[in-house]
């Protein structure tokens, strides 16, 4: 069976404001990867999934820049959501598009804005997952072995070991766990039975559609309407009219936590969801003072500070510690590393304040 | 006797970097006053000292911008120092220039970059000082009554009250005190016998020249050489050749601390030497959160923060406290208020690092 890619590229990554903007979202920022994260995501599939079998769901706003960024992908494979309605409708739409091409397709669902390396190990896990999805008719999640007691990720509690599957370590999923507190995260880490849920999934079209039918019937009905229009002149209009009425819910809450046939495959590669600015420190490393300086910089007594600025702009710091300073032509952000998650709230506040030109 | 103004406008005010630059020094920044501090300094003399009796000593680098900024001052009254050699040579040069016009002139020596208000009270004190300089043949300093135990100013310990002088409170100077530690500053404040030395002086030409002759004879000889050239074709060349050999010393250390005929007049106006960025908070005030925001700004939990940015540049802050953020087109500064004095060191470090284009 053929393996298709469904890349979810609809997020803005507001936690990376002021670099990420509506017109230049996180996955199109070159700062976080060699090229852009979206290009990296596609390149990571090279040799495994052909470009014509790669589909991208993005937003109407990002459509032109995404098309330009990944000109190698057939234009009809890049489809905009009329509005963001979380991952279940997004995945549903993508699955419907691929099902039109191959109703038995195996699909790898991939976020466009994560960091993964090395590619070789990723592809090995992905191949194993495809094989498992086909043999088990299960919904395959990718579990990352935690390296620290993270409180920012959802966890997967693994259940029964699938000993017969030899291509990778695979387990039944015992339970999904929402972002834990520190104490619980430490317990998860110690037990060795928990994985980070990395948001990558592999399944066959019939498996995911029947799971959606069972657990999100209203989404299923909407997808039926959309499917009937695909390839016709009514496609765009139908998506535009139907999509806003689909339930706004994540695939995790809406389907995976309820479904019985959910498996987890152990992902043996380096993974980072690049959730917020401190991820840049993890990617780029820090100097002896703990500083990550991606700018022209002069400092006195500057420690554990992340600085990013536009070319030729000098950032000068005295006595900063644990601080993030991000400078762009029209906006500057100053936030302690410990509060980097709140950049999302800040962007919300900007929306409310009508500061549209900076979003 | 005629009252002349000698305005010292040679400083860069490096503590106000990145706004103050070699080509746009502190006294030419409009941010600290209604117009620029230099314009304010001149305007403050209106009705008391005519423009043709106002002299400005500046640097070669600043000469063009100073001339442009104060086009109302006769061009020949604006003279550049070939290099900075502290205040004694600067004042000596200015006094020599004025002496050429009126060998008996009374001169008010005024820094170009201080904040003073209200003008009415300042002029009253200045008139009184001129009168005192003439009647006493003394070197008149201006003492500011301290309002807090400042450690950043030099102090003047007042001596015998000059009861016969009725135009203002005047005293003999008992002693000059260098910048004190906190404990000493508190003692000074409590005693009521100490003033801040505000760097404004009034004296007659013969009085200051004879004091220089006595206490800085090498400066006096240099000034004689310069004086002989003034108004001739050799003026510029003579200043250029003589000046670098003059002793590099302040008028306070070099003359006032040694002279016997030094008086202090109590200055009853608001004064601020605008020493570093926190002065902007004193001038502009702060909102209920302690913030002084001179920029487009959006913040979460932002307190006691000073923000200044170029027009239309958005500064976003989360969880900052006691911080200064100054943003200009080519440089951004982030420094805690408590360490604002170190901006001077930072600028030194920039010089050493060869970051000339940002100085």
- Write the pLDDT tens digit of every residue in B214-230: 999 999 999 999 999 99
- Give me the mean pLDDT over the B276-281 stretch: 94
Chain-chain contact of A318 with B298 (C-beta, under 8 angstroms): no
The predicted pLDDT at position B31 comes to 77
ipTM of the complex: 0.87
> Within 13 Å, how many C-alpha atoms sit on residue A121's CB side?
12
Identify the CA nearest to B26 among candidates B258, B276, B221, B271.
B276
Residues A204, A105: Cα–Cα separation, whole Å: 6
What is the bridge-based pairing of β-strands B155-161 and B106-111?
Answer: unpaired
Task: Tell me how far the alpha carbon of residue B53 is from its chain's centroid.
Answer: 19
pLDDT band of residue A32 (cuts 50, 70, 90) is: confident
For Cα atoms A87, A89, A92, give the angle at the middle one, nearest 5 degrees: 105
Interface test with B, best of A314, A315, A357 (most B CBs within 10 A): A314
Six token digits for residue A273: 């969801």
Percent of chain A with pLDDT over 90: 89
Residues A304, A320: Cα–Cα separation, whole Å: 8
pLDDT band of residue A196 (cuts 50, 70, 90) is: very high
For Cα atoms A42, A274, A314, give the angle at the middle one, nearest 5 degrees: 105
Identify the CA nearest to A124 among candidates A267, A264, A4.
A267
Please give the residue of chain A at the shortest CA–CA distance from B356. Answer: A314
The 10 Å Cβ neighbour count of residue A275 is 19
Six token digits for residue B110: 């005024």
Closest chain A C-alpha to B14 CA, distance in angstroms: 13
Residue A342 with chain B: CB contacts under 8 Å: 300, 318-319
Q: Which residues contact B40 (CB under 8 A, 6 or more apart)?
A: B33, B34, B115
Domain edges within chain A: 3-272, 278-358
Is A136 in contact with A228 (CB distance < 8 Å)?
Answer: no
Please give the residue of chain B at the shortest CA–CA distance from A342. Answer: B318
What is the bridge-based pairing of β-strands A270-272 and A194-204?
Answer: unpaired
- Give me the mean pLDDT over the B51-63 stretch: 94
The 10 Å Cβ neighbour count of residue B201 is 25
- Give me the mean pLDDT over the A247-276 stretch: 95
- Write the pLDDT tens digit of every residue in B136-173: 999 999 999 999 999 989 999 999 999 999 999 999 99
Closest chain A C-alpha to B63 CA, distance in angstroms: 27
Mean pLDDT across chain B: 95
DSSP A324-340: EEEE-SSEEEEEEGGGG
The predicted pLDDT at position B1 comes to 64
Q: Which of A5-19, B22-36, B76-90, B300-314 has the lowest mean pLDDT?
A: B22-36
Task: Tell me how far the alpha carbon of residue B109 is from its chain's centroid.
Answer: 9
Residues B210, A325: Cα–Cα separation, whole Å: 56
Residues A40, A103: Cα–Cα separation, whole Å: 28
The 10 Å Cβ neighbour count of residue A287 is 9
**Could you tell me the fold of the domain covering A3-272?**
Spore Coat Polysaccharide Biosynthesis Protein SpsA; Chain A (3.90.550)
- Kindly list the residues of chain B whose beta carbon comes within 8 Å of any beta carbon in chain A: 17-18, 296, 298-300, 309, 312-320, 323, 325, 327, 330-336, 339, 342-343, 345-346, 349-350, 353, 355, 358
Residues B100, A77: Cα–Cα separation, whole Å: 86
Kindly compute the dihedral angle of the four CA atoms of residues A84, A89, A92, A98, in this order, to the nearest 10 degrees: -20
The predicted pLDDT at position B12 comes to 81
Residues A176, A111: Cα–Cα separation, whole Å: 19
- Kindly list the residues of chain A whose beta carbon comes within 8 Å of any beta carbon in chain B: 17-18, 296, 298-300, 309, 312-320, 323, 325, 327, 330-336, 338-339, 342-343, 345-346, 349-350, 353, 355, 358
Q: Which residues contact B298 (CB under 8 A, 6 or more apart)?
A: A346, A349, A350, A353, A355, B314, B315, B316, B317
- CB-based burial, B97-136: b 16+ in 10 Å, e otherwise: bbbebeeebbbbbbbbbbbbeebeebbbbbbbbbbbbbeb
Chain-chain contact of B334 with A314 (C-beta, under 8 angstroms): no
The predicted pLDDT at position A29 comes to 86
Mean pLDDT across chain A: 95
Q: Would you give the DSSP letter of residue A146? A: P
Six token digits for residue B215: 């206490």
The predicted pLDDT at position B341 comes to 94
Cis preceding linkage at A118, omega within 30: yes
Is A327 in contact with A310 (CB distance < 8 Å)?
Answer: yes
Q: Would you give the DSSP letter of residue A21? A: B
Residues A159, B147: Cα–Cα separation, whole Å: 72
Please give the residue of chain B at the shortest CA–CA distance from A334. Answer: B317
Bigger pLDDT: A61 or A138?
A138
Residues B90, B212: Cα–Cα separation, whole Å: 12
The predicted pLDDT at position B294 comes to 95
Find the farthest-apart pair of alpha carbons in chain A and give their distance in angstroms, rounded.
64
- Write the pLDDT tens digit of every residue in B280-337: 999 899 999 999 999 999 999 999 999 999 989 999 999 999 999 999 999 999 999 9
Q: Is the pLDDT of residue A245 over 90?
A: yes
Residue A353 with chain B: CB contacts under 8 Å: 298
pLDDT band of residue A2 (cuts 50, 70, 90) is: confident
Residues A15, A293: Cα–Cα separation, whole Å: 19
Identify the CA nearest to B296 among candidates A310, A296, A356.
A356
Partner-chain residue, chosen from B334, B339, B353, that has the shortest CB–CB distance to A334: B334
Is A118 in contact with A269 (CB distance < 8 Å)?
Answer: yes
Residues A321, A302: Cα–Cα separation, whole Å: 6
The predicted pLDDT at position B271 comes to 94
For chain B, give the number of residues. Answer: 359
Helical (H) or strand (E) element with A304: none
pLDDT band of residue A302 (cuts 50, 70, 90) is: very high
Partner-chain residue, chosen from A296, A349, A355, that has the shortest CB–CB distance to B300: A349
Is A336 in contact with A324 (CB distance < 8 Å)?
Answer: yes
Identify the CA nearest to B53 among candidates B84, B26, B82, B74.
B74
Helix A205-215 vs helix A217-229: crossing angle, to nearest 10: 130
Q: Is A13 left (phi over 0), alpha (psi -120 to 50) or beta?
A: left
pTM, to two decimals: 0.88
Q: Is the pLDDT of residue A1 over 70?
A: no
Closest chain A C-alpha to B85 CA, distance in angstroms: 27
SS3 sequence of chain B: CCEEEEEEECCCCHHHCCCCECCECHHHCHHHCCCCHHHHHHHCCCCCCCHHHEEEEEECCCHHHHHHHCCCCCHHHEEEECCCCCHHHHHHHHHHHHHHHCCCCEEEEEECCCEEECHHHHHHHHHHHHHHHHHHCCEEEEEECCCCCCCCCCEEEEEEECCCCCCCCEEEEEEEECCCCHHHHHHHHHHCCEEEEEEEEEEEHHHHHHHHHHHCHHHHHHHHHHHHHCCCCCHHHHHHHHHHHCCCCCHHHHHHCCCCCEEEEEECCEEECCCCCHHHHHHHCCCCCCCEEECEEEEECCECCEEECCCCCEEEEECCECEEEEECCCEEEEEEHHHHHHHHHHHHHHHHCCCHHHC
The 10 Å Cβ neighbour count of residue B148 is 8
Identify the CA nearest to A37 among candidates A8, A57, A79.
A8
Is A80 in contact with A66 (CB distance < 8 Å)?
Answer: no
- Write the pLDDT tens digit of every residue in A126-184: 999 999 999 999 999 999 999 999 998 999 999 999 999 999 999 999 999 999 999 99
Q: Is the pLDDT of residue A48 over 70?
A: yes
Helix A87-101 vs helix A205-215: crossing angle, to nearest 10: 140
In DSSP terms, which residues pair with A38 in a beta bridge?
A: none
The predicted pLDDT at position B233 comes to 94
């Amino acid at each position: 069976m053929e393996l298709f890619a469904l890349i979810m590229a609809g997020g803005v990554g507001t936690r990376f404001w002021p670099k990420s903007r509506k017109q230049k979202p996180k996955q199109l920022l070159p700062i976080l990867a060699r090229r852009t994260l979206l290009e990296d995501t596609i390149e990571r599939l090279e040799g495994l999934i052909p470009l014509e079998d790669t589909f991208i769901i993005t937003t109407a706003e990002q459509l032109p820049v995404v098309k330009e960024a990944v000109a190698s992908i057939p234009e009809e494979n890049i489809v905009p959501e009329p509005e963001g309605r979380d991952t279940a409708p997004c995945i549903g739409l993508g699955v419907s598009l691929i099902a039109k091409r191959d109703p038995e397709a195996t699909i790898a669902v991939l976020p466009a804005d994560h960091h993964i390396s090395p590619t070789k190990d990723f592809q090995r896990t992905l191949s194993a997952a495809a094989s498992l999805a086909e043999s088990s008719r299960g919904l395959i999640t990718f579990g990352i072995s935690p390296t620290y007691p993270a409180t920012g990720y959802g966890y997967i509690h693994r259940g029964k070991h699938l000993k017969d599957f030899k291509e990778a370590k695979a387990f039944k999923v015992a339970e999904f766990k929402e972002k834990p507190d520190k104490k619980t995260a430490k317990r998860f880490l110690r037990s060795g039975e928990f994985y980070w849920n990395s948001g990558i999934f592999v399944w066959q079209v019939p498996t995911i559609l029947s799971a959606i039918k069972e657990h999100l019937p209203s989404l299923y009905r909407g997808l039926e309407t959309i499917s009937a229009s695909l390839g016709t002149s009514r496609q765009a209009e139908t998506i535009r009219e139907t999509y806003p009425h689909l339930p706004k819910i994540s695939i995790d809450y809406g389907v995976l936590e309820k479904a019985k046939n959910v498996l987890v495959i152990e992902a043996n590669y380096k993974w980072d969801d690049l959730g917020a600015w401190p991820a840049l420190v993890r990617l780029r490393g820090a100097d002896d003072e703990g500083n990550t300086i991606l700018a022209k910089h002069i400092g006195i007594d500057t420690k554990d500070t992340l600085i990013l600025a536009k070319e030729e702009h000098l950032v000068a710091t005295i006595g900063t510690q644990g601080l993030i300073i991000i400078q762009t032509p029209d906006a500057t952000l100053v936030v302690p590393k410990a509060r980097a998650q709140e950049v999302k709230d800040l962007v919300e506040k900007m929306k409310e304040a009508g500061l549209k030109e900076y979003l």
